[in-house]
Structure 1
């Protein structure tokens, strides 16, 4: 069964008497990847954070050893698959095939190509390109929520705290993980983003971009001669643009236009959980897409 998207996750929780708000449903997708089996283990009398601790950080949790079991149950070469996943977890912007080979020490050849295809078809990794680069320069990034979560926290956690997730909700590492994971959620809901932009019928290509001093994690290149430069921000309240961030946005947009030499118009687009707080800088974003749009 394919992983649930956000709307399907919400419907699944509701059918099982679990009443999370959409902020927590998004976060559950970021941790458990929308895998129905994982979601079926939730206790309806616990908060999301309690469920995470009970299932993953508890020594006898039903998912405590799931990561190790996962690769052996799916892949014929589980050690190479796990090594590749662990390597991809270290860099949010992804790696090229050559970088993966060098970083993992896996031998090049048909078996490696087969492993990449298998991981991609199983929704563990995604193949993508930087804007302006040819297909032969494709890169790979980790998109499986559970594997990313495990490598961020369980592989690095030097504590026996069975309430680890409840105790670290506002830590820098958790906030950094939320930022990366929310980008993955956005990449997985491009159809919903396009619908919110009113361009469902327009052919588009999705890319990332890295320039000399700036980068765009998600951009939508449209056949109607416009490019949406998307900022993906997971926030517990309305997102606020201050003077410094406004300057960064202007510099990023100018760098993209200058370095890519694009002849298309560009539009700054915010994808966030709750919305954008109105102030003197909020007009910098020409489109604002909220979590409600991602649930459609």
Structure 2
């Protein structure tokens, strides 16, 4: 599999390894984001021991760990009893040469022996500290990694020398792998998302429609049942979580609407939502002007574009897809795909705002996100509290050029956004798939910015 992007993460790992002294590095993130590929790429040209833990008995886990160490150092496999002896053997071998030791799927080891972080604490303090080696703890169980490795209560707290919370590719990162033309790349990203395992399943020699049919709708395709497999890997009883994800993907985004769509009472629902957030399968959003902790105007969205597509189109139509996938594509998916893509287009436009800020072509903002109150919504609002400046923007993935009506509408909604003093500076932006009506740019003053797809491509490619 081709390895894309991740230059910053590789640079962080390489800088830590060559900086001198020992390192305890932590790499974590939800499944399928490419943690293992990142570490294999990092280890490829340097001495390393790579141990992939499995869901099996502690004794066998420990035996395999020691076998990996002995194999790397061309040593006979010693008899060991307990993790303290296993780590002592590792310490003995690390004194011979600087080595990278990767323990992948670390949460599986902790599940069998929750004292392992304490053993590692002693190893790091008393033995690893005297070497030039690096130990990398990697895991997909985000909650376990945060509590047992990074958390204040963990014996390992304060020992790490670096960490990477690895997420999916942004749109601009994914563009390196998507070989479609820019407008089709946005549509494709709305289906595959930025999770490498999903993104790289697509064959960009085929049309997007052909990829949807062959890579997702086909019962023999890996992606056809991937979300269900993912949930069964993480959860004992995934049925209710599946129904929640389907509800959110089909437009029921508030707790009350999710409860109504799923029949789950608000008390249990809150716990289910917390679990899905912990697994990074959904995000909780509040208006950008509101307090994340105190606001009751929360909305939820499926965090991954592919999962959003799958729970919107595949899960509700499973029986029909088994019998007549082409009918589902032509009658259900294709007609509403522009609406599905429009949500992704907003994400792409917010990414473009941040890129424009980094380039200095747009004034800086400390926060950028959606805003809503009652029935009023604005796709993008940027806040610059130090300068009392606000950005208000709309994103239109439509087949018609944007006209003056949207300008008037955005000006009107700006007055509803309660933020900053009355003397605040207001800036406006419009993003449009199909450009703008003739003369619109000339009618607007310098507080307005217009971005068509060519402008976005120049920013993000």
Report TM bin, short chain. Answer: 0.7 to 0.9
Match of 2:93 in 1: none
Say which of 395, 403, 407 aligns to 1:232: 395
Match of 1:16 in 2: none
State whether residues 50 and 166 of structure 1, in contact with CA within 8 Å, keep that contact through their aligned partners in structure 2: no
Match of 2:184 in 1: 24
State whether residues 367 and 383 of structure 2, in contact with CA within 8 Å, keep that contact through their aligned partners in structure 1: yes
Say which of 274, 277, 282 aligns to 1:120: 277
Deviation, structure 1 residue 164: 5.7
Match of 2:95 in 1: none
Secondary structure of the 2:341 match is helix
TM-score where L is the length of structure 1: 0.77
Change (3 A) 1:120 1:197: farther
Question: What does 1:134-145 correspond to in 2, within 5 Å?
Answer: 134=291, 135-137=294-296, 138-145=298-305
Hey, what's the Cα distance between the residues in 1 that align with 2:251 and 2:332? 22
Change (3 A) 1:255 1:193: same
Question: What does 1:50-65 correspond to in 2, within 5 Å?
Answer: 50-65=210-225
Hey, what's the Cα distance between the residues in 1 that align with 2:325 and 2:312? 17
State whether residues 89 and 152 of structure 1, in contact with CA within 8 Å, keep that contact through their aligned partners in structure 2: yes
Hey, what's the Cα distance between the residues in 1 that align with 2:377 and 2:204? 41
Unmatched tracts of structure 2, length 5 or more: 1-32, 34-166
Q: Which moved more, 1:98-107 or 1:52-61?
A: 98-107
Indicate the structure (1 or 2) with the bigger Cα radius of gyration: 2
Deviation, structure 1 residue 197: 6.6
State whether residues 380 and 392 of structure 2, in contact with CA within 8 Å, keep that contact through their aligned partners in structure 1: yes
Secondary structure of the 2:382 match is strand
Q: Does 1:257 align with 2:415?
A: yes
Q: CA offsets, 1:132-160, max 9 Å, x none?
A: 54433133222321222123322454464
Q: Does 1:147 align with 2:303?
A: no
Match of 1:104 in 2: 262
Q: Which has the higher contact order (CA 8 A, sep 6+)?
A: 1
Hey, what's the Cα distance between the residues in 2 that align with 1:116 and 1:215? 24
Number of aligned residue pairs: give it.
281
Q: CA offsets, 1:104-134, max 9 Å, x none?
A: 344555x755543443354422222125544
Match of 1:218 in 2: 380
Hey, what's the Cα distance between the residues in 1 that align with 2:187 and 2:408? 30
Unmatched tracts of structure 1, length 5 or more: 14-18
Say which of 277, 280, 287 aligns to 2:449: 287
Hey, what's the Cα distance between the residues in 1 that align with 2:316 and 2:265? 27
Deviation, structure 1 residue 250: 1.0
Deviation, structure 1 residue 8: 2.2
State whether residues 192 and 293 of structure 1, in contact with CA within 8 Å, keep that contact through their aligned partners in structure 2: no
Q: CA offsets, 1:198-239, max 9 Å, x none?
A: 457542252322355x42132222222222222122357xx6
CA root-mean-square deviation: 3.4
Say which of 246, 270, 280 aligns to 1:86: 246
Match of 2:172 in 1: 7
Question: What does 1:32-51 correspond to in 2, within 5 Å?
Answer: 32-51=192-211
State whether residues 246 and 315 of structure 2, in contact with CA within 8 Å, keep that contact through their aligned partners in structure 1: no
State whether residues 180 and 204 of structure 2, in contact with CA within 8 Å, keep that contact through their aligned partners in structure 1: no
Hey, what's the Cα distance between the residues in 2 that align with 1:87 and 1:34? 22
Change (3 A) 1:101 1:57: closer
Q: Which moved more, 1:186-195 or 1:132-141?
A: 186-195
Change (3 A) 1:151 1:33: same
